[in-house]
Structure 1
Amino acid sequence: MHNPSSNTRNFPALPHFTGMNAPSRVECQIQDLEVIGELPKALEGTWYRCGPDPQYPPMLGDDIYINGDGVVSAFTFANGHVDFKMRYVRTQRFEAERAARQALFGLYRNQFTDHPSVRGLDRGTANTTAFMHAGRLFALKEDSLPYELDPVTLETKGRHDFNGKLRSRTVTAHPKRDPETGEWVFFGYEAAGDASKSVAYCVANRHGTLVREEWFEAPYAAMQHDFAVTRDYVIFCVFPTTCDLDRLKAGGTHWMWNDALDTWIGVMPRHGCAKDMRWFRRPACYSYHVANAFNEGSQITIDLCVSARNVFPYVPAVDGSAHDPQANAPFLTRWRFDAESPDTSFDARVLSSMPGELPRIDERLSMRPHRFIYYGGIDPSRSQLVAGPIGLGSNHLVRVDTQTGDVKALFLSDTTTFQEPQFVPVPAAEGLLLAVLDHHDTALASVVVLNAADIEAGPIAQIKLPIRLRDAFHGDWAPANPTIL
């Protein structure tokens, strides 16, 4: 077993630990960020974001981007001013390593590679999504339970298990909030533990009380990063990024790509039960993120980013084939199912020719028909800058009109990349977009504010930060006054 006292005090000189990906290890509070231009008066609220930032060099000498400690940040907009806070989530893992002053946990999601001193501790990093529900702020990571934070101070309150009612060991980092009922709809995969096929479908009511938890088995143990919910259906996506317990015990990686397996899509009536699940199939493919889904009767539409295989270069293939970033690029795609058809196949149509990821919509339309989708695009003919988990940062922001097929894209410079966009609803307009901009030439960050209907016009305003922000994953907008929208 590895002796933690032999840990290097230096982060490895590798792409996911250097440049814009270098750990910042910063907690801070900055009042009145500098603003270039004028902020829209309707921009009032807090934008929460969550991402990975390792506090110590990896115990085994190397690690993957997504295994960093969770950091939650908050941009608070009020009366034309912007304040900023950023704090680590005090997970059990974080506290144990801080006490030891070094890393104690091994490979990503492999408990068998950890130091013996942390056996039995929660390995969760709470590093993927900041999510508000029922006035409470949570940091989510799909392999563990949520952590609750104070929405003002960002101080960690502790793990959240719905007052001991939740049986699933895991909660997805892609919750769905029903804008009509206020429900928090979620699931947990590997719900019974590593490499299990168990999936738990769960619902918390508008007050945050767990009111449903139903378990079923997926066709095989797979990474189910996201899912889809409509008014009447829940859709579970099983893609062939697979886990094997024997491999874990041998010290191997949690995930491997196996394109000998089909993709399975489970469609369950939202108010039905697992025995009503119908499974659709297609050849192997992958998707990390769903933009939205809706249904018209039994016709289900899902918009999501689809790639030929897992886009992460550190998910090896079972057959040993090399990762090809261009061949495996994800494209915004529309899938259509008929839940009542005896045919188990389904239609697929690409919505935009520019590859990319991290799609967002106006979440007032979640689970209902939507028109516009916004995402981070990567134009291979432009600058290719290293940032974030898949290797390359997004050199464009893209707006897709799903009704007309019109695609608009914003490119700012050869030295900047965009992090995930955040849609902000405002009265009597399509809305605003916020996005952190990575400045690779200065190693600093800023936030651009855009008119969602005319992103090609460029920023309405730009908020300057005196620090670099390591690429986060997902965020949530909490309006100061939700009733005005």
Structure 2
Amino acid sequence: MFNVDESLVLTVPTEDQTDNPWLRGAWKPQRREYAVSGDEMKVIGEIPRDLNGIYIRNTHNQAMAPIGIYHPFDGDGMLHAMRFDDGKVEYRNKFVRTTGFLAEQGAGKALWPGLLQPQDYTRRGWGSMGAMKDNAGTDVIVHSGQIIASMSQGSEPWSLSPTTLETLGTKSWAQLVPDGLASHYKVDNDTGELVFFNYPITAPFMNYGVVNKEDNLVHYVPIELPGARWPHDLGITKRYSILHDLPYFFDPDALKAGRKKLDFHDEIPARFGIIPRYGRTEDVRWFEAKPAWVMHLANCFEDGDWVVQDGCIWDNPVMPPVQNPNDVYGRIARQLDKHATHTHMYRWMFNMVTGEVREFPLDDEVVEFPVVSNDFVGRDYEYAYASLFLPGHWMMTGIKKFELKTGNVTRTEYGDGRFGSEVCMALRDGYTAEDDGYVITFVNDLTADTSECVVYDAARIEEGPVCRIILPERICAGTHACWVEGDRIDGENRVLAEAR
């Protein structure tokens, strides 16, 4: 059985109606919303009984025939969730009903242009460009008993039920953050606080905030930057947050003329600003490092006088060339090709006493979307899990586990024609070690035209899946995912292991 909202208007072209590769194949939009119990899905292997919580993944799933050139990050947000409860599972998927989504549903057509043609907008938009639809299709996290879904460039904080995926509206504090919520906000499982930022194209060019465990905005301050920037992530430790001022930003002259042209400036150092969690712009301690762009962090922590930041550095953020400069789809593919940008694990260390900066690679293999378990966010940690990528494509082919204390690595690959999503590390009930749990992802099998939720033993990913749950339909390739533990579904009730 499946549920379909018959009132949905879907004008996006089918595969035989378009040559856009980002609306075909792995990126083919899904047209149905499901609510399916485990009894209605095929399960290969045994679902662990000590795995309790919800794995939620966001997806750019276009509903309307797009205006102009469609970029894969333009699509409407659609959440996919697999709930685990004492050996039982339930799967759901649902569009995020943002204001933009509902307006287009009412109009029966697309009303906003996408990422590549913001100048073509005819009505007010959202995000740091101010011209795009708020699709809420990039990031997703659960805080204070509700999902928050957002668009990368700055979004209203869209709130959804973690159990039904129903859109509840925007957060009560949304009106207090007019520049929205950028990816990637972080939750400290110890305090229940959510830390976030945004980056408008007008002064002060960044804002920074904290929402407490009761879902009240308790801190929101401007952060003064030299100009408009295009950061993507921030880090947290137990006492600090790490803000990014990177040399990848809009051309100032073009911006004055109303055009939004992003350039990487390899002559300008990257700056990382370390601010006390409840600090202000005058409290930020800025550190300079080699010019770079950073999309996603694995984790940050404090080690004596040092603040340590681990993440994926882009060695070559400049738009890579394509054989045919008129091939717009080829240009998109090259920009998204992690092998062209040589994205790999890297460490930055900032000494809060001496001001010294140390930086060095942790590994040279191309990976992205590094994650750690929620209980170890902001703490010294041992294990990170990142996604491997197919050369020439934005396709995740497997998982690489990094053992940071020893330098050892292990890996698993999904197989020919099989491509995954961002993984999450879910600690098992009563865990006794940092990797005592499961790694979860959705995998699309393009040959069999199926999708499945795949669960690995986090300590032994190389042994292959513990179980595979076949979904009712192949789903669209997606972006970010999150895990919410069973004791956090209704609110920030987590008790960390050392406090038990």
CA distance 1:13–1:225, shift in 2 (3 Å): same
Which runs of 5 or more residues in structure 1 are unaligned? Answer: 1-6, 385-390
Which of these residues, 53, 56, 61, is aligned with residue 53 of structure 1? Answer: 61
> In the alignment, what sits opposite 1:170?
180
* Cα distance in 2 between the residues matched to 1:39 and 1:181: 31
* Cα distance in 1 between the residues matched to 2:71 and 2:353: 42
* Cα distance in 1 between the residues matched to 2:259 and 2:217: 35
* Cα distance in 1 between the residues matched to 2:216 and 2:476: 34
Which of these residues, 385, 388, 398, is aligned with residue 374 of structure 1? Answer: 385
> In the alignment, what sits opposite 1:185?
195
> In the alignment, what sits opposite 1:4?
none
Q: What's the CA shift for 1:397?
A: 0.5
Q: What's the CA shift for 1:88?
A: 0.6
* Cα distance in 1 between the residues matched to 2:193 and 2:364: 35
Q: TM-score, normalised by structure 1?
A: 0.87
Alignment pair present for 1:354 and 2:365: yes
> In the alignment, what sits opposite 2:266?
259
Q: Partner of 2:465: helix, strand, or coil?
A: coil
* Cα distance in 2 between the residues matched to 1:250 and 1:209: 39
CA distance 1:118–1:207, shift in 2 (3 Å): closer
Which of these residues, 405, 421, 424, is aligned with residue 422 of structure 1? Answer: 424
Alignment pair present for 1:284 and 2:291: yes
Matches within 5 A, 1:92-241: 92-108=99-115, 112-116=119-123, 123-142=133-152, 143-162=154-173, 164=175, 166-190=176-200, 194=201, 196-241=203-248
* Cα distance in 1 between the residues matched to 2:417 and 2:379: 38
Query: After the TM superposition, which of the residue ranges 403-412 and 12-21 deviates more from structure 2?
Result: 12-21
* Cα distance in 2 between the residues matched to 1:240 and 1:362: 30
- The answer to whether the Cα contact below 8 Å between 1:309 and 1:328 also exists between their aligned partners in 2 is yes
Deviations 1:100-150 (A, max 9, x none): 222111132865422349899983111112221111222122312111112
Q: How many residues align?
A: 459
Which of these residues, 351, 356, 379, is aligned with residue 338 of structure 1? Answer: 351
- The answer to whether the Cα contact below 8 Å between 1:231 and 1:368 also exists between their aligned partners in 2 is yes
> In the alignment, what sits opposite 1:36?
44
- The answer to whether the Cα contact below 8 Å between 1:182 and 1:206 also exists between their aligned partners in 2 is yes
Instruction: Give the residue type in structure 2 aligned to 1:428.
Output: Y
Which of these residues, 436, 439, 447, is aligned with residue 453 of structure 2? Answer: 447
CA distance 1:152–1:274, shift in 2 (3 Å): same
Deviations 1:152-194 (A, max 9, x none): 2212121225164x2341212211111221111111111xxx3
- The answer to whether the Cα contact below 8 Å between 2:59 and 2:138 also exists between their aligned partners in 1 is yes
- The answer to whether the Cα contact below 8 Å between 2:367 and 2:386 also exists between their aligned partners in 1 is yes
Which runs of 5 or more residues in structure 2 are unaligned? Answer: 1-10, 326-330, 489-493
Instruction: Give the residue type in structure 1 aligned to 2:298.
Output: A
> In the alignment, what sits opposite 1:395?
397
CA distance 1:311–1:72, shift in 2 (3 Å): farther
- The answer to whether the Cα contact below 8 Å between 2:210 and 2:278 also exists between their aligned partners in 1 is no
CA distance 1:228–1:117, shift in 2 (3 Å): closer
* Cα distance in 2 between the residues matched to 1:378 and 1:118: 33
Instruction: Give the residue type in structure 1 aligned to 2:343.
Output: P
CA distance 1:434–1:144, shift in 2 (3 Å): same
User: Identity of paired residues, percent?
Assistant: 28
- The answer to whether the Cα contact below 8 Å between 1:110 and 1:254 also exists between their aligned partners in 2 is no
Instruction: Give the residue type in structure 1 aligned to 2:187.
Output: R
Q: What's the CA shift for 1:311?
A: 8.0
Q: Partner of 1:75: helix, strand, or coil?
A: strand
Q: What's the CA shift for 1:306?
A: 0.5
- The answer to whether the Cα contact below 8 Å between 1:219 and 1:264 also exists between their aligned partners in 2 is no
- The answer to whether the Cα contact below 8 Å between 1:123 and 1:144 also exists between their aligned partners in 2 is no
- The answer to whether the Cα contact below 8 Å between 1:195 and 1:243 also exists between their aligned partners in 2 is no
CA distance 1:16–1:312, shift in 2 (3 Å): farther
CA distance 1:442–1:304, shift in 2 (3 Å): same
Q: What's the CA shift for 1:480?
A: 2.4
- The answer to whether the Cα contact below 8 Å between 1:439 and 1:445 also exists between their aligned partners in 2 is yes
* Cα distance in 1 between the residues matched to 2:400 and 2:193: 30
Alignment pair present for 1:326 and 2:339: yes
Q: What's the CA shift for 1:250?
A: 6.2
CA distance 1:124–1:211, shift in 2 (3 Å): same
* Cα distance in 1 between the residues matched to 2:298 and 2:283: 25
Instruction: Give the residue type in structure 1 aligned to 2:347.
Output: R
* Cα distance in 2 between the residues matched to 1:342 and 1:44: 43
* Cα distance in 1 between the residues matched to 2:284 and 2:106: 47
